[in-house]
Amino acid sequence: MYRLLITDDEPIIADGLFEMFGEHTETVELELYRAYSGEEALQRLNNTQIDILLTDIHMPEISGLEVLKHAKATWPHCKVIMLTGYNEFKYIQEAVRGGSIDYVLKTEGDAKILQAVQRACRELDEEWKLNDLILKAKGSMSVALPMLRKVYLTGLLEGARTAADVTPRNLEQLEIPLLTDRPVLLVTGKVDKWQPELSLSDKELLLFAINNIAEEYLAPKFLIVQVKYESDQWVWLLQSREPQDADALRRVIRGILEMTQKQSYQLLKVSASFLIGERETQWDQLTGVYFRMKWQINYGIGMGREMMLSEYSEPLHSDGVPGKNQFYAPALKQLEAYLESGQQEKFREAMVAFLTGLTENTDGNTYTMQEIFLALSSTFMTCINRSGLSRDIGRQIDLGRCVEYKSFPDWKSVADYFLQLAAHYFELRNQSEFSPYRDVVQTIEDYVHRHIAEDLSLTRMAEIVYLNPYYLSRLYKKLTGVSLTDYVIHVRIERAKELLRGTNRKVHDIALAVGFESSAYFTRFFKRLTRMTPIEYREKSV
């Protein structure tokens, strides 16, 4: 699915094209946007990743050619199709020089315009052929960053080095393309799940390919360097090439990462999730932010695939320091992260190590041990309930003991119980790729029914469940057998039928009540699906 922005200062043309593409979902799947002026188009381009721009050339104040230049500067991979009522060579020549891939006369009709957009979609597909990505990945591997560069950056992130080591000379010698006098924004990434047949070299190659996809999008707007800290996790250090406010910065990054997720899955069959830093960070504060984001990406990403999350800062106690449970809280967070992300072996190792050293750390204090037991119980029950597996696990092990501290004679029994509980959890969790998403469909469908007259774009609904829009589209169809777009249309039409049968409201009012912007568009859509106009349906239902 690609995003199409239709721009024309004549509303009848912009609306007509919007409706035309909405009626051709069977031939080209698009998320549609429209603008009625060049200024409105620029605002949309600044706020939303746009893949295809369909714009009139002749518009007052800001022309289509200016919109074209802005689109190419903002989203370099955006394909542009120019519309005009004039067959003038100078405009064609200037449009081509500006990066337009097509030029259509309005007099040529809807079919020609539809064909032009279909060609643009094919162009976008061709640009990201798997062979090209793999070749580029191999090239990147051959000139990979020297080990010294990785050691330097890792030491800086983990606190082994200080901000005093960040000098122009050091960065220049290590070929690190960042500036010492500017803050850095951290973005962490994670491969959600490897295919079991992949070798270590295959995984490395795919990681390079994912990074190349992201850099293709990020490089025009950011200075960027990547540091890999796990076999499937990495962090990007970013600096914006041009000053911009925090909200605009995050919107741009979010749009870029959405496209990275989409291309990674479509072309590499690898799903990835990202966590965007809350704000730009000074060099001397990187360590704290880095460790916090490392935990959060495991905790948050464990809830699903192709997620797009934002970092949050944990508040301190009123005295400005962490609580007295500091010695075991990080270990519990790590255990929860392994549970959520399905890393069974890492969980078992961490769990055994945690329980082995527990008595030493607590000095055997009964109340502290009970507090830790309840914290472990909470961790397990949260993960089990969130995954929707409590009933299935309850058939195999007594979940009631999870809150009965006194039913265990010693900590060895506690350890055995929780390790058995984890084994059942992982076994059932691994049986279904989509088990963490059992509530997503219900959440989305409830939202559609409650907000039927509002924005039900894929982007908006993806924000509700914290998923990438493209992944949500695939996920919903996988779980239900129908596309999310078709479901929204079905709900709106069925609600319209109810209003036509049960009320005397005008067709125009009903159209607005179910989320259509015009009665003409609603009537055409309704007739296409029911073989009757709304008036005919009402008369037949009497």
pLDDT of residue 262 exceeding 50, the answer is yes
Q: What DSSP line would sit under 448-499, residue for residue?
A: HHHTTTS---HHHHHHHHTB-HHHHHHHHHHHHSS-HHHHHHHHHHHHHHHH
Mean pLDDT along residues 101-109 = 75
- Secondary structure (H, E, C), 83-150: EECCCCHHHHHHHHHCCCCEEEEHHHCHHHHHHHHHHHHHHHHHHCCHHHHHHHHHHHHHCCCCHHHH
- As given in the structure block, the two tokens for residue 447 are 């939202």
Single-letter residue type at 263: Q
Mean pLDDT along residues 473-488 = 83
Query: Tens digit of pLDDT for each residue in 210-256?
Result: 999 999 899 999 999 999 888 888 999 999 998 888 888 888 998 89
As assigned by CATH, the class of the 439-541 domain is: mainly alpha
> Higher-confidence residue: 518 or 89?
518
pLDDT band at 351 (very low <50, low <70, confident <90, very high): confident
Name the segment(s) of the chain with CATH classification 3.40.50.2300. Answer: 2-127
pLDDT at 210: 92
> Higher-confidence residue: 84 or 284?
284
* Spatial separation of the C-alpha atoms in residues 425 and 422, rounded to whole Å: 5
pLDDT at 139: 56
User: Residue 55: how many CB atoms within 10 A of its CB?
Assistant: 27
What mean pLDDT value characterizes the chain? 81
pLDDT at 134: 65
pLDDT band at 329 (very low <50, low <70, confident <90, very high): low
pLDDT of residue 324 exceeding 50, the answer is no
The residue behind tokens 């960065």 is 171
pLDDT at 462: 85
Phi, psi at 219, each rounded to 5°: -55, -40
* Spatial separation of the C-alpha atoms in residues 301 and 290, rounded to whole Å: 16
* C-alpha angle 237-239-244 in degrees, rounded to nearest 5: 140
* Spatial separation of the C-alpha atoms in residues 483 and 461, rounded to whole Å: 13
Query: Tens digit of pLDDT for each residue in 60-92?
Result: 889 888 898 899 888 988 899 988 776 665 666
pLDDT of residue 313 exceeding 60, the answer is no
- As given in the structure block, the two tokens for residue 426 are 């992982």
* Spatial separation of the C-alpha atoms in residues 376 and 73, rounded to whole Å: 51
Shortest CA distance to 228 belongs to which of 188, 274, 196, 265? 188
Name the segment(s) of the chain with CATH classification 3.30.70. Answer: 130-310
Query: Tens digit of pLDDT for each residue in 490-506?
Result: 999 999 999 999 999 99
pLDDT band at 536 (very low <50, low <70, confident <90, very high): very high
Mean pLDDT along residues 330-354 = 78
pLDDT of residue 431 exceeding 60, the answer is yes
Residue 54 DSSP SS3? strand
- As given in the structure block, the two tokens for residue 496 are 């319209």
pLDDT of residue 320 exceeding 60, the answer is no
Name the segment(s) of the chain with CATH classification 1.10.10.60. Answer: 439-541
pLDDT of residue 145 exceeding 60, the answer is no
pLDDT of residue 337 exceeding 80, the answer is no
| Overall pTM > 0.75 | no
Phi, psi at 278, each rounded to 5°: -65, -35
The residue behind tokens 């960053």 is 145
- Look at 269-283, 390-404, 489-503 and tell me which has the smallest mean pLDDT: 390-404
Q: Which residues contact 390 (CB under 8 A, 6 or more apart)?
A: 381, 384, 399
Q: What is the CATH number of domain 2-127?
A: 3.40.50.2300
User: Residue 421: how many CB atoms within 10 A of its CB?
Assistant: 22
pLDDT of residue 319 exceeding 50, the answer is no
> Higher-confidence residue: 304 or 306?
306
Query: Tens digit of pLDDT for each residue in 406-428?
Result: 788 877 888 888 889 998 888 87
Options 3.40.50, 1.10.150, 3.30.70, 3.90.1310; which CATH number does 130-310 get? 3.30.70
- Look at 90-99, 265-274, 488-497 and tell me which has the smallest mean pLDDT: 90-99
